[in-house]
Each structure stands twice: as C-alpha cells, then as structure tokens.
C-alpha cells in the first residue's frame, strides 16, 4: 500500500515548490534535512548544497509523474504533470495555467492541490523507506559528518582552468608531508599548456589527495610528473621507482573515488616490467558537449541546465535573444536549445541568424516553444521541435538523436 504523507508534510512540500528557485530559502527547510537524512540512510551520495539538493528532489518527483510518451493530453496524470511544470517550474500564474489547459480557476486550484499531494507522496515514500531501514537514532554524528555529507555541501561550477596551476597548488599543500618523508617532485620541462573545464576546488582536492597517497606510499624518492593532451583528454602521469608492491587502491578510496567520479576523471595505475617503476595516470576530459540554452524564462533555463549537467554537458545559458547572439560571438556550441517567443530578438529571428553564420550553419538547434508549430520551425532550419512544457526525457532523447550526447 502506498504510504500517505501527513497534512503537514504536504504543506511543507507546497512551500518548497513555491520557492523552487530560492536556494537560500530551501536550504533552511526541515524538508531538506529530512530528505538528506533519508539519502544518507540509503548510502546515496549528493554533490550539492541542501538547497540545490531539495530542488533536485522536487523536480525529480515532478518528473516521476510524467506519463509515458504518447499518453492522451486529457488524462489525470498528464494534467497533474502539466500543472506542476507550468506553475512551479515555468512560473506561470494559476490563472495563466488554467487558460493554457482550458480549466477554470477553481478547477486549476483543486487539480494543483492534488498534484502537490502526488509530489508529497513520492517524497514521503523516500523518507519512510529510509526510516524503516535505519532508525532515526542511528543517524549518528559520524554519519552526518561523513565524506558523503561533506560532499553534499559542495557545489560544482565548471570553468576553464590551468591544470598546471592546479597541480602547483596541490604540490604546495602537500609540501610539508613530502619533506618529512624525503620525497621530491620533478615536473616535465617545458610544461605543456593544459586548460581543462573543471570545478577548481574539487579538482584541487583530488590532486592533493592523490599526491598525499603517493607520498605516504614511498620515501626518499622523486615523483616525476608529466603532462600531455590530445583532442579529447589531458593526461597527468606520476611515476617513481619502487622495489616492492604498493598497497594503493584508488578505485575504492572513499575520498578519491567519488571525487574522480564526480569530475569524470579516470585513474589508471600500473607497474613497469619487473616491478621497477610505479606509474599513475590521471585522464581528464578537456570538456563535454557545449549546449547553449536561450530562453527568457530563468526558471526553465535553470531546469534545462540541471537536466544536462548530469550528462557530461557544459551548459551555457542566455536569458534573451540578444544575450544568445553575444554568446555565439564568443563560442560555437555543439547544440542550441532555443525558445521561440522572447521580447527583444525572437527565437525565429535568432534561428535564421544562426543558419546564416558560417560557424553555426550546421549546429543542431532544438526549438522549444509553447506555440506548437513544428512546420515553421523546420522551415526556418530547426533540427528538432519540442512543445512546452518539456520533460527531461524529451530533451535528452532529442540530443541523443542529434548525436550530441
């Protein structure tokens, strides 16, 4: 039997939905704490602050209500999903939502309340499931201060970063430890220019942790560091002589493994023939596909950004057609998600400009609009058309069909 949430829990969910993009407000809610404790009890990891984490949980619950593709538009499930998307995700008023869906204001309020209860039921089930598995008293201070809980306070912000500078900062951090064990570093000269798109704080901590483990595994040795890159990856290779097997297992390390997974780095260790030299290679993606989202609805931009950042995409956001044009003068994205109706430069005008520019003439463009006019979109050069409200599956399916992700 599906667990039923308490009236207070439903009200808490409604309050959170009403502040879906106010991370500072969400951060302070008891609901965020309860869901975070449920996550820890189920040994799941989060890489976000409580505010971002709660918004993610709310949006995932909304997405869980999305009917299968092809479901009739008038079904209760489809109506609930559209109500939540239009009102909370896209920010339309109750009256505007009612007009869009052909409902009276009274019907819209009543149906929206049912939709809120459905979201609350999904989240309530997660809380109750965790409570059954681990009593509340067992959520000890040790768990709440664990590596996973620490990661939950970090935010990931990708930016172009000089890998050589990151490595220099990491070497400086471990210098006292290296001195006590008689370990020195020798960097390749000249050092190649390696610029990668990473979260600086997380990457620095990963490098510090790796260097610390290597220093503690040896003494009175020189660790040689080499850098290289190809079109897709940067490589850092760290090596030193060894006469005995080393008890280093980076794949199961409780700090290094989750940090590497979060950044998309791979770590490969090997020992030369005869065990004469230990070598550790860090393979670092230069960048994932770049997707430009152009929409004057800030809430929808953030939603699409959330959909895509979990799929190895670097998302650039523009809140107007003019801003989108400015971005295109600085970079050429791998795909563009474009709203049709914007106040300054419309999506239709921007699409035609995109197609006349040599740099973007072949760039896949997905038109995402409340105006269900795919024929016009395709006539103007769109690669794909999605009618709002959009779902995560629709966006990802379109990008996969266009060979972007």
Q: What is the pLDDT of residues 336-345, one digit of tens each?
A: 999 988 888 8
Is residue 2 a part of any domain in this protein? no
Is residue 197 a part of any domain in this protein? yes
Task: State the pLDDT at residue 139.
Answer: 41
Average pLDDT, the chain: 81
32 with 87, same domain: the answer is yes
Longest dimension (CA), the chain: 79
Beta strands in 111-172 (DSSP E): 158-162
Domain boundary residue, one of 285, 301, 321: 285
- 18 pLDDT higher than 80: yes
Domain boundary residue, one of 226, 254, 285: 285
Poorest-confidence range of 54-68, 132-146, 165-179, 180-194?
132-146
- 215 pLDDT higher than 50: yes
Q: What share of the chain is helix, strand, coil (3-state, %, to 5)?
A: 50, 15, 30
146 with 163, same domain: the answer is no
The DSSP secondary-structure symbol of 6 reads P
DSSP 12-30: HHHHHHHTTT-HHHHHT-H
Cα R_g (the chain), whole angstroms: 25
77 with 142, same domain: the answer is yes
Task: State the pLDDT at residue 136.
Answer: 42
Query: pLDDT by residue (tens digit) across 289-343?
Result: 788 999 988 777 777 777 776 565 778 888 899 999 999 988 888 899 999 888 8
Q: How far apart are the first and last CA of the chain?
A: 39
Q: Which residue has the higher pLDDT, 170 or 52?
A: 170
276 with 295, same domain: the answer is no
Is residue 337 a part of any domain in this protein? yes
| Residue 344 vs residues 25, 293, 301, 355: alpha-carbon distances, Å | 32, 16, 17, 19
163 with 97, same domain: the answer is no
CA neighbor of 39 nearest in space, from 21, 54, 29: 54
322 with 389, same domain: the answer is yes
Domain boundary residue, one of 267, 285, 303: 285
148 with 169, same domain: the answer is no
Query: pLDDT by residue (tens digit) across 172-213?
Result: 999 999 999 999 999 988 998 888 877 788 889 899 999 999
220 with 242, same domain: the answer is yes
What average pLDDT does this structure show over 143-164? 59
319 with 255, same domain: the answer is no
133 with 163, same domain: the answer is no
Is residue 393 a part of any domain in this protein? yes
Task: State the pLDDT at residue 48.
Answer: 53
Is residue 1 a part of any domain in this protein? no
What average pLDDT does this structure show over 232-238? 90
- 36 pLDDT higher than 80: no
Task: State the pLDDT at residue 181.
Answer: 92
- Number of domains present in the structure of the chain: 3
CA neighbor of 9 nearest in space, from 23, 25, 39, 30: 30
Poorest-confidence range of 32-46, 114-128, 218-232?
32-46
Report the CATH number at residue 302. 3.40.50.2300
Domain extent for 277: 158-285
| Residue 43 vs residues 143, 149, 331: alpha-carbon distances, Å | 10, 10, 40
């Amino acid at each position: 039997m599906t667990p039923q949430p308490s009236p207070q829990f439903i009200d808490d969910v409604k309050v959170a939905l009403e502040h879906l993009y106010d991370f500072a407000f969400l951060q302070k809610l008891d609901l965020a704490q309860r869901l975070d404790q449920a996550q820890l009890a189920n040994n799941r990891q989060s890489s976000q602050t409580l505010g971002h984490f709660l918004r993610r949980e709310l949006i995932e619950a909304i997405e869980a209500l999305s009917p299968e593709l092809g479901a009739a538009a008038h079904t209760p499930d489809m109506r609930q999903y559209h109500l939540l998307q239009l009102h909370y995700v896209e920010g339309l008023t109750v009256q505007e939502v009612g007009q869009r869906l052909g409902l009276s204001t009274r019907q819209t309020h009543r149906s929206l309340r049912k939709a809120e209860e459905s979201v609350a039921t999904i989240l309530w089930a997660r809380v109750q499931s965790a409570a059954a598995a681990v009593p509340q008293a067992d959520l000890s201070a040790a768990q709440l201060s664990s590596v996973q809980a620490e990661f939950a306070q970090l935010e990931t912000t990708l930016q172009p970063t000089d890998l050589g500078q990151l490595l220099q900062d990491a070497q400086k951090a471990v210098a006292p430890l290296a001195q006590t064990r008689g370990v020195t570093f020798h960097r390749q000269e000249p050092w190649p220019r390696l610029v990668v798109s990473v979260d600086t704080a997380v990457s620095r901590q990963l490098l510090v942790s790796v260097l610390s483990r290597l220093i503690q595994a040896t003494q009175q040795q020189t660790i040689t560091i080499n850098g290289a890159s190809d079109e897709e990856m940067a490589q850092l290779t760290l090596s030193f002589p060894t006469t005995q097997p080393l008890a280093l297992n980076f794949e199961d390390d409780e700090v290094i493994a989750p940090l590497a997974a979060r950044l998309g780095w791979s770590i490969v260790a090997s020992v030369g023939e005869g065990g004469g030299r230990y070598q550790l290679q860090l393979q670092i993606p230069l960048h994932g596909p770049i997707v430009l989202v152009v929409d004057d609805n800030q809430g929808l931009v953030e939603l699409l950004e959330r959909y895509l950042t979990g799929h190895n995409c670097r998302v650039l956001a523009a809140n107007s057609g003019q801003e989108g044009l400015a971005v295109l003068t600085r970079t050429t994205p791998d795909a563009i998600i474009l709203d049709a109706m914007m106040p300054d430069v419309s999506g239709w005008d921007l699409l035609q400009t995109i197609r006349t520019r040599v740099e973007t003439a072949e760039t896949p463009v997905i038109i995402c609009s409340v105006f269900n006019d795919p024929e016009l979109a395709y006539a103007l050069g769109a690669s794909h058309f999605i009618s709002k409200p959009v779902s995560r599956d629709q966006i990802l399916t379109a990008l996969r069909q266009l060979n972007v992700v």
